[in-house]
Amino acid sequence: MEITINLLPEEKRKRLELEGDLPFGRIFTDHMFYMLYQKEKGWHSAQIKPYEPICLDPAAVVFHYSQTIFEGLKAYYGVDGKIRLFRPDRNMARMNRSARRMCMPEIDEEFVLKALKKLVDIEKAWIPKEKGSALYIRPLMMGTEAFLGVKPSGEYIFFIILSPVGAYYREGFNPIKIYVTDKYVRAAPGGVGDVKTGGNYAASLAASEEAMKLGYTQVLWLDAVERRYVEEVGTMNIFFYFEDELVTPSLTGTILPGITRESVIQMAKDWGINVTERRITIDEVIEGARTGRLKECFGTGTAAVISPVGWLAYKGEEYVIAGGKTGPLARRLFDELTGIQYGEKPDPYGWIQFVP
């Protein structure tokens, strides 16, 4: 498939807004990638065009039944002036996994990755240069057929939009406070907890709002069946570092399979750390925090990279982890991952792809 390219004339483009604090996800670049799907035609009309509103029928499937999936990755401006993507092939593969689960058409992973690189190349002036900042990339697919019956849509839109984002840790690499909820659950076995689909995030809002009112940044989710096993935190996977073991919950179908998670597991194993993916109870975590056996706790995800957890609230008690300080393992993982992403360190795993 050919990509039609239709760019705004220079004088119609927005003024670059890359100075000062860039808020997350509020500024968008001048252009977007866009393509359409119809049952009879497959994917067609691939184009890079001006960023603009999408006009949909009020009966479009996505509005009523949330048949939609998305991805999130970043383009980094390297210390050598080259533009890097971190494991974008994994995002494409995960998007297709999500598509299959939501009865949506698969994309041609290589084609879409090529289109993504082309778009980032066209918009490269929008990549902020400060270390820690990046161009956030949001691919999304949704069912657009105008039909109120509950069945897979026969028509879809796929697009990619770009948003320059500031450094997550402008104020320092400081641990966050998280709230363990046993009132709400995020995902049940057999459901869609391991899919990046809109409804999961709408369903999590009430718990986040309650946690924030109490002074906590994020929610730590427990399993839906026994409300005992730790799952993940906010939009991050979670790790616990005990004296002799780095533990992260196994992918049992209710947890999003994070690409940062996968990368952290591989690096830690290569550093000789005993990494295990297993079920872990909240009681084991609390006991570890109480006795000091739990050395560190941190979340992992594209937005924050590594987010140290310093405090955990559970059943009305607050527990401190590692004295509320960032531990050496979280620091080392953060330095190594961002080092690879910004081209300061070699990429021994072949995780980086360049733009163009």
Ligand X SMILES: *Cc1c(COP(=O)(O)O)cnc(C)c1O
Binding range to ligand X, per CB under 6 A, among 45-53, 74-82, 119-127, 296-304: 296-304
Residue 84 to residue 142: CA distance in whole angstroms? 28
Beta-bridge partner residues of 60? 146
Least distance (Å) between residue 195 CB and ligand X = 9
Binding range to ligand X, per CB under 6 A, among 21-29, 42-50, 212-220, 298-306: 298-306
Strand 176-181 relative to strand 218-222, pairing: parallel
Per CB under 6 A, 140 contacts ligand X: no
Under rule CB under 6 A, how many of the chain's residues touch ligand X?
Answer: 14
Among 35, 196, 238, 314, binds ligand X (CB under 6 A): 196
Tell me the CB-side half-sphere exposure of residue 85, using CA atoms within 13 A.
Answer: 23
Least distance (Å) between residue 237 CB and ligand X = 5
Question: Among 263, 260, 237, which Cα is nearest to 250's?
Answer: 237
List the x/- string, 55-74, binding to ligand X by CB under 6 A. -----------------x--
Per CB under 6 A, 96 contacts ligand X: no
Per CB under 6 A, 31 contacts ligand X: no
Per CB under 6 A, 302 contacts ligand X: yes
Least distance (Å) between residue 300 CB and ligand X = 6
Residue 235 to residue 215: CA distance in whole angstroms? 18
Per CB under 6 A, 259 contacts ligand X: yes
Residue 305 to residue 267: CA distance in whole angstroms? 14
Among 137, 236, 238, 282, binds ligand X (CB under 6 A): 236
Q: If phi over 0 gives left and psi between -120 and 50 gives alpha, with beta otherwise, what is residue 252?
A: alpha
Among 137, 219, 256, 322, binds ligand X (CB under 6 A): 256
Q: If phi over 0 gives left and psi between -120 and 50 gives alpha, with beta otherwise, what is residue 328?
A: alpha
Q: If phi over 0 gives left and psi between -120 and 50 gives alpha, with beta otherwise, what is residue 339?
A: alpha
Handedness of CA 208, 211, 215, 221 (dihedral sign): negative
Binding range to ligand X, per CB under 6 A, among 42-50, 104-112, 210-218, 294-302: 294-302
Q: Return residues touching ligand X (CB under 6 A).
A: 72, 196, 232, 235-237, 256, 258-261, 300-302
